[in-house]
């Protein structure tokens, strides 16, 4: 039974990372109707910023953390201006290609600037973990789970109970109508990119002590997060969270009880099953309609 709890904890932990990145996917999708394939690089860039501030410059962890998130806010704004804004009146295809291009550009620029060597980022907390019975709880995973819960609550409050959140929702539902009502659509999309980059960056910073900081860290997570958004329902915030957690738990249990080498296979098997039998995902609308 202890093994089940251990696997469950680990599955929820890794699932929370997928969920955080998936959240970023969903927010941008809702605002712009396109999938941002450079979402994984948000995580990677933030982790590298963290390495620069806290490891290279040896600044305190919290200052580095705030500076990295601040850097991600600027990065999100620049990303919007450079990748989405010039193509905003075109169909979804050029924008998707633009995000793929940005993804390649950013990861290769990081490689050129920082070199290929994977970097080590220490845990936020000094003690790595503790046991409850025979179940080991990694404090970094606990932190990730905690942050996911807080962010979900914050997101619910922000979108449902603040004027800015409602404006963002209106923009995502119908840009023309929102514009007619005096909502500055371009600004709202800018805010979405900034927020999404910060969430993706947060996921990257949190997962970096576990998976190490490398230019490939974003791609691996983003692929799973993308699957999570489809499982949960594209465009649905709750769906992204449930999808991410489900994916983490399914692949962990699948690996333990069926086959470790085919671990990634379970995640994508579930993805294919959803695309065939329930393309709208658990909560969302049909992908075909959105895309």
Partner 1 sequence: MTNFTRRSFTSALALGVAAPAFLRNASAQSATIKIGQVVPITGPAAEAGKYAMAGAKIALDEINKKGGILGKQVEIITEDDQTTNPGAVLAFSKLATNPDIVAFVTSIRSTQVHAMAPDIAKIAKPTMFGGTDPTLTKLGNPWLFRCRPNDTFSGKVIAEFGVKELGLKKWGIVHSTDAFGTNGMKALEASLLALGVTPVAIQGYANQSQDFTPVVLALKQAGIDIISSYFTFENDLGIFARQLRQLGVNAPWVGSPSIVNTTAIKLAGAALNNTYGVADYAEESSPEAKAFADTYRAMMKVAPDNQSSWTFDGMHLLAMAINKAGKTDPDAVRAAMLSIKGYKGAEGEYNFDANGDGLHGYNVVKNVGGKIEFAKHIEFPA
Contact predicate 51/262, CB 8 Å: no
Whichever of 108 and 173 has its CB closer to partner 1, that residue is 108
103 binds partner 1 (CB under 8 A): no
User: Counting contacts by CB under 8 A, is residue 152 touching partner 1?
Assistant: no
Q: Between 73 and 137, name the residue whose CB sits nearer to partner 1.
A: 137
Supply the minimum distance, in Å, between the C-beta of residue 172 and partner 1.
31
**β-sheet bridge partners, residue 138:** 129
Is residue 264 within the footprint of partner 1 (CB under 8 A)?
yes
**What values do phi and psi take at 57, rounded to 5?**
-90, -10
One symbol per residue from 182 to 201: x for binding partner 1 (CB under 8 A), - otherwise; what is it? --------------------
Q: What is the CA radius of gyration of the chain?
A: 19
Confirm or reject binding of residue 123 to partner 1 (CB under 8 A): no
- Candidates 32, 11, 9; CA nearest to 235 is 32
Question: How far is Cα 184 from Cα 179, in angstroms, rounded to an integer?
Answer: 6
CA distance 229 to 223: 10
Number of residues that bind partner 1 (CB under 8 A): 33
Per CB under 8 A, the segment of 20-28, 43-51, 173-181, 258-266 that binds partner 1 is 258-266
Residue 218 neighbours by CB under 8 Å, 6+ apart: 39, 40, 41, 42, 43, 44, 45, 107, 204
Which residue ranges make up the site for partner 1 (CB under 8 A)? 3, 6-7, 10, 14, 108, 111, 115-118, 120, 128-129, 131, 134, 136, 138, 210-212, 214, 216, 220-221, 252, 255-256, 260-264
């Amino acid at each position: 039974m202890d093994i089940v709890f251990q696997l469950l904890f680990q599955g929820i932990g890794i699932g929370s990372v997928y969920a955080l990145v998936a959240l970023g996917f969903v927010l941008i999708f809702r605002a712009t109707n396109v999938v941002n394939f450079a979402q994984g690089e948000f995580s990677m860039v933030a982790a590298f910023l963290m390495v620069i501030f806290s490891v290279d410059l040896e600044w305190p962890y919290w200052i580095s953390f705030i500076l990295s998130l601040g850097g991600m806010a600027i990065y999100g704004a620049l990303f919007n201006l450079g990748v989405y804004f010039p193509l905003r009146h075109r169909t979804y295809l050029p924008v998707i290609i633009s995000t793929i291009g940005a993804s390649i550009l950013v990861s290769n620029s990081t490689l050129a600037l920082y070199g290929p060597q994977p970097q080590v980022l220490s845990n936020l907390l000094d003690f790595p973990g503790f046991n409850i019975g025979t179940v080991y709880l990694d404090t970094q995973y606990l932190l990730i789970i905690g942050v996911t819960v807080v962010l979900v609550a914050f997101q619910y409050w922000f979108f449902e109970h603040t004027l800015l959140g409602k404006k963002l929702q209106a923009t995502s539902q119908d840009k023309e109508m929102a514009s007619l009502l005096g909502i500055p659509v371009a600004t709202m999309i800018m805010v979405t990119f900034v927020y999404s980059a910060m969430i993706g960056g947060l996921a990257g910073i949190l997962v970096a002590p576990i998976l190490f900081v490398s230019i490939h860290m974003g791609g691996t997570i983003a692929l799973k997060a993308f699957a999570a958004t489809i499982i949960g329902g594209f465009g649905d915030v709750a769906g992204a969270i449930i999808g991410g957690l489900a994916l983490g738990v399914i692949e962990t249990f699948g690996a333990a009880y069926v086959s470790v080498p085919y671990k990634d296979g379970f995640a994508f098997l579930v993805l294919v099953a959803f695309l065939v039998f329930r393309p709208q995902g658990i909560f969302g609308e049909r992908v075909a309609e959105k895309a």
